[in-house]
Amino acid sequence: MAESISPDNPPYLTLTISQALSLPPPPAPEPAQHESVNAMLDARARHMPDVLAVGFTHLSSGSWGCHTLTYSQIASLAHNLAGALEDRLPSRQANGKSPNGTPLVAVLSSSGLELFAHIVALWRLGYGVLCIAPGSTAESIANLLRLTETDTILAHASQASAAQSAIDALDAGGRVCEMLPDIQAFIDRKVDPKSGSATGEDVLVTMHTSGSSGLPKPIYQLHRFWTASMVTAPGSSLSAFTTTPLFHGGMSDLLRSIQAGSSIFFHPTADPGALSAAAICSAIAACPKPVSYFLSVPYILDLLFNDRSAQAREMLSGMELVSTGGAPLPQPLGDAMVHAGIKLVSRLGSSECGFLMSSWRSFHDLEWNFLRIPDELGRSMIRFEPFEGALFELVVAKDWPTKLVSNREDGAYATSDLYTKHPELENTWKYDSRADDTIVLVSGKKASAPIAERRLKESSLVTEAIAFGANRAIIGALVFVTPDAAPGAWNDEIKVKLLQMLQPVLKEINDASPPHAQLATEMVCLLPPSEAANIPRASKGTLQRGRAYQHYADLIDSVYLDFEEGRSLRLHSSSTAKEELSGEELVQWLQHTVASINGRSVAPDTDLFVAGVDSIQSARIRAAVHQNVELGGKLLDRNAVYEFPTLRLLAQHIEDVRSGSGGVNGVEERQEREVRLMRELVEKYSSSPPDLDVERKAGAGNGKGTLFLLTGVTGGLGAQVLAQVTATLEPEDTIACLIRASSPKHARMRLLDALSSRHLDAAHSAVSAESSQVLVLAADLSLPSCGLPPLTLSYARVLTIHAAWSVNFVASLSSFEAENIAGLSHLIALHQSLAGENGCFTFASSVASVLACPPGSVLHEKASTDPSDAVPMGYARSKWVAEQVVSRRFPEGGSRIVRIGQLCADTQKGVWNESEAWPLLIAISCRLGVFPRLQERLDWISTDVAAKSLLDISSAQKDGVFHVAQPTTGSDPAPSWEELHEWLQASELNLSLISPQEWLDRVAESDADHRGLLSLWQKNFTSPPTDPTKFDCNKALDASANFRTWQKTGVTQQLIQKTVARWKEIGFLS
């Protein structure tokens, strides 16, 4: 017998997977684990045949009703409909992409009885179900079919056209089968089906991601994930009501309800007339059993709680549980709900891992948004890893029972969800943000911030862009304009002019984005050039998104308020006066406005939502009314467009409310300004800063051993340098690692994680040892003291290797000053204060600092004196400036400048930073199935070889400039691009060679995440072939035996295959 719910006995809907596994064993004949969901449904039909299992509310003739099914009726429906479907579907054949070879059929339908019936029938036939959300583009659906090798779509008649468009987009073809009508008739009809069998290892359902950072991707869920008995779980006798569709999170709630032998009702929020407070309350009243659990998403909870009538709020207050999930609920809304006595619980689950945590608690505790892990089993399989500052990333261990996917070498899944700790309670966490720059809207849908940001920053008018919108209904962007774009006064006139010039960019953004991620002109907030200096950035110069959101929180709030209340700038009106429109004139204005927002003309009496207007568009329609139509100082209710869903109704409502019931041509100037800045920065940082807060022992250089001062050790090259140094340490030597971190503990964690991820086990052990010779220091090189406490150190020699630098190929030079160039200056001062005259300072530079030379040139190992030698981008120019600073700050010697060429995977484990250009190119090629035929050679150097070479050069007697790069003036030609293609093929990557231009076109047409490199590739890959630049490396070759050895080996097939294997292991390549 199931217990009643209480703070210590959470209801079955809030149990995590680990808690569910710890339930008391069920009474006979119920097994602890059913063989499959089919077997579980059969058991329910035998032992609780008359229990109401599922209901679907529906609107008919103006009133709400509910179609219900008992467990015995589900069994009859599944068997009978399966028999009728079997001859309409292709024969079942093993699917090569599906776990256990389970054959898959895609289903495309709105959520309701028809979708449910066909899903259980497909299960009965032995198929796994690929759920597709209505409204997905043909390209997205075709991509899912392609990725899962599914060739059949079972579509509702209303979705048949969309299904056929997706099939037409498939190269291999496929078929569309229409769902059978009159589902109720199949409950009693007797058909003898030839049911296929399913095991626990077969695919039950395949969900898909939202596609916010690319096309949607499939996520498989097996029968065994959902077959544990939960009939002994507390609260299973109470019924649930959900607004979440079956093709999304509603599927999980359905399966959990079946596990518990409980009842659940589904509401069709996408149907006309269904999404209002009155409709939802009426639908609940139509359910034949009392509803105790209300399961929904933030957007609908907001709609209900803030409804003008008291009915919806009273309904919520009467529930034993009001659950929010799918997206973070805004804190003010959640706080208001719990203070109103609503039993609000946040549930965290994912398609990848199932139910993970919830905020079930005593409801005297108002902290609804702190998620708990109350059981030991859960704590053993869920961990929070330090991320940045006070943030921790949620990581699910490989042993989590309902997880198939992994993105860690140990089989774990790093979720990219970031949390903060409760200030007092153990194992209690609050969601903060995403690590992957995905914006989760209040609707639960996701938008990729880089899509808008990348395109905006490509404009000559823009220096930086920050997209925002977390927990909001619509995204926006802070856009920082260039000095050239606004050379004079900053006022509304120049803003309007710039917004008009940005319209083509906004069109590109919106053409590339799904409807919920559209960027409206009204949501673009332009900021003057002077504001760019205030943008929070990380030590690498990259945007600190979380800090930026905090820094600009008030401004972002004002953008939304102006949008809501119609105060946004208007582009096409010379007057700020609003029009007092009425009657047919107002209807026509609304018709024009909706067409401009929705892209189609809507008849005055057509339901806007049937016509395709979504929640984002409705918000824009409301804002446009506020902006252009005189309302006598009043505002439309937030849900006005939903409540008056035709143009004629909305026009009448508006009248009721009113009555009271620069082309910039500065490319050359920009370049000249950058060159001037290069020289200014050299002068600025060539003098030593004020004395550091570092205690220096008298007689520096008279101590024993060597102090190795290392930076960049959490990066690819720096970690290898640390590994090489630890392998050669003498007993009296010490390594000091300077790491950007909030605390020594955080710094140590970052370092150990970096070493683990690169399989540098010996270095990991050296750092972890109880009497370690490695000091891990939390540092901030942008500060004069490098962010370090006073140090008292004395060694015979100090060897500093500076390998920390922002790798950002789109940032301007000024972006590199504070963290990189100033940081270099501070580090030099620290080195000189510690080393006296007995030390070596080695700066890991880049060949990009001198690579702007004519084709076929030979670059010599000497200092540059001309800023134009640097490649014209901020990264290269910052390295040129750094070289000048190092040379000037060591006029008497004691420094090495090592220009390093293109790095690749290390020779031992094949680890290569996946965010670099060549790995990204290979990953994109694998996704597209094609590889560009480039005129390139593999003039690359393994990171461990480069690290050893750096150490060799640092220990040599010569100062000055060294080149660790390929090709050298004396080296044989490196392997060709065609050989790389052959090696990739041998690594089981099926890639067809095509022309560079065709490849670029394919990338441009796809939504592949090229990290802003497409424009660079377009420039490089379409230029006529030229003779390669060669590097004079004689000094480096003399100094480094490791570099000399590399000349004889270079990149090999073995190295490429090792690298590909590593990428497959971590999920970078599929």
> Can you give the CATH number for the domain in which 601 is found?
1.10.1200.10
Supply the pLDDT for residue 298: 85
Which of 394, 438, 387 has its CA nearest to residue 209?
438
Same domain, yes or no: 110 and 203? yes
Tokens of 104: 């898959």
End position of a domain, from candidates 900, 933, 949:
900
Same domain, yes or no: 812 and 713? yes
Instruction: Measure Cα distances from 188 to 68, 74, 118, 183, 681 in Å.
Output: 14, 11, 16, 10, 83
Collect all residues with Cβ–Cβ distance below 8 Å to 713 and sequence separation of at least 6: 719, 721, 722, 737, 739, 751, 754, 803
Which of 914, 883, 918 has its CA nearest to residue 898?
883
| Beta pairing partners, 294 | 241, 322
> Can you give the CATH number for the domain in which 558 is found?
3.30.300.30
Question: Contact 537/819 with Cβ under 8 angstroms?
Answer: yes
Supply the pLDDT for residue 662: 29
| Beta pairing partners, 903 | 941
Same domain, yes or no: 923 and 873? no
Supply the pLDDT for residue 371: 94
Domain with 40, as residue range(s), is 31-56+69-229
Same domain, yes or no: 730 and 588? no
Which of 664, 683, 270 has its CA nearest to residue 502?
664
CA distance 800 to 796: 13
Question: Contact 723/753 with Cβ under 8 angstroms?
Answer: no
Supply the pLDDT for residue 260: 95
> Can you give the CATH number for the domain in which 137 is found?
3.40.50.12780
Same domain, yes or no: 884 and 949? no
Domain count, the chain: 5
Tokens of 339: 């203070």
Supply the pLDDT for residue 819: 85
Q: Do the domain assignments include residue 931?
A: yes
> Can you give the CATH number for the domain in which 858 is found?
3.40.50.720
Question: Contact 1/235 with Cβ under 8 angstroms?
Answer: no
Amino acid at 750: R
Q: Do the domain assignments include residue 938?
A: yes
Same domain, yes or no: 473 and 513? yes
Instruction: Measure Cα distances from 246 to 108, 455, 823 in Å.
Output: 11, 35, 54
Same domain, yes or no: 557 and 595? no
Amino acid at 302: D
Same domain, yes or no: 168 and 211? yes
Q: Do the domain assignments include residue 864?
A: yes
Supply the pLDDT for residue 808: 65
Q: Do the domain assignments include residue 667?
A: no
Q: Which residues of the chain, if any, have pLDDT below 70?
A: 1-2, 189-196, 209-216, 387-389, 435-436, 440, 442-446, 471, 538-542, 572-576, 609-610, 615, 642-643, 662-670, 689-702, 808-812, 815, 1007-1012, 1070
Question: Contact 97/148 with Cβ under 8 angstroms?
Answer: yes
Collect all residues with Cβ–Cβ distance below 8 Å to 712 and sequence separation of at least 6: 718, 721, 802, 803, 804, 805, 844
Residue 282 class from Cβ within 10 Å (0-12 exposed, 13-18 middle, 19+ buried)?
A: middle
Cα angle for residues 432, 404, 54 (degrees, 5° grid): 80
CB atoms within 10 A of CB 984: 22
Collect all residues with Cβ–Cβ distance below 8 Å to 82 and sequence separation of at least 6: 121, 122, 124, 125, 191, 193, 195
Q: Do the domain assignments include residue 977?
A: yes
Same domain, yes or no: 888 and 927? no
Give φ, ψ of 983 to 5 degrees: -70, -35
Question: Contact 492/446 with Cβ under 8 angstroms?
Answer: no
Same domain, yes or no: 635 and 767? no
CA distance 471 to 533: 27
Which of 959, 958, 804 has its CA nearest to residue 879?
804
Q: Do the domain assignments include residue 12?
A: no
Name the residue with tokens 């490089």. 1020
Same domain, yes or no: 561 and 619? no
Tokens of 408: 């860690």
Supply the pLDDT for residue 699: 36
Residue 453 class from Cβ within 10 Å (0-12 exposed, 13-18 middle, 19+ buried)?
A: buried
Question: Contact 1059/910 with Cβ under 8 angstroms?
Answer: yes
- Total-model pTM: 0.52
CA distance 881 to 873: 12
Polymer length of the chain: 1070
Tens-place pLDDT, residues 962-994: 999 999 888 889 999 999 999 999 998 989 999
CA distance 642 to 627: 19
Please compute, for residue 90, the number of CA atoms within 13 A of its CA located in the half-sphere on the CB side.
Answer: 15
Same domain, yes or no: 961 and 1033? yes
End position of a domain, from candidates 633, 659, 685:
659
Supply the pLDDT for residue 665: 34
* CA dihedral (42, 45, 47, 53) positive or negative: positive
End position of a domain, from candidates 613, 635, 659:
659
CB atoms within 10 A of CB 783: 14
| Beta pairing partners, 220 | 206
**For 87-173, where are the alpha helices, taking DSSP H only?**
113-124, 138-148, 160-168
Amino acid at 806: S
Q: Do the domain assignments include residue 406?
A: no
CA dihedral 817, 818, 824, 829 (to 10 degrees): 130
CA distance 812 to 808: 9
Q: Do the domain assignments include residue 747?
A: yes
Name the residue with tokens 């090709």. 967
CA distance 742 to 189: 68
Q: What share of the chain is helix, strand, coil (3-state, %, to 5)?
A: 40, 20, 40
Name the residue with tokens 């079972």. 154
| Beta pairing partners, 777 | 738
Tokens of 675: 């060159």
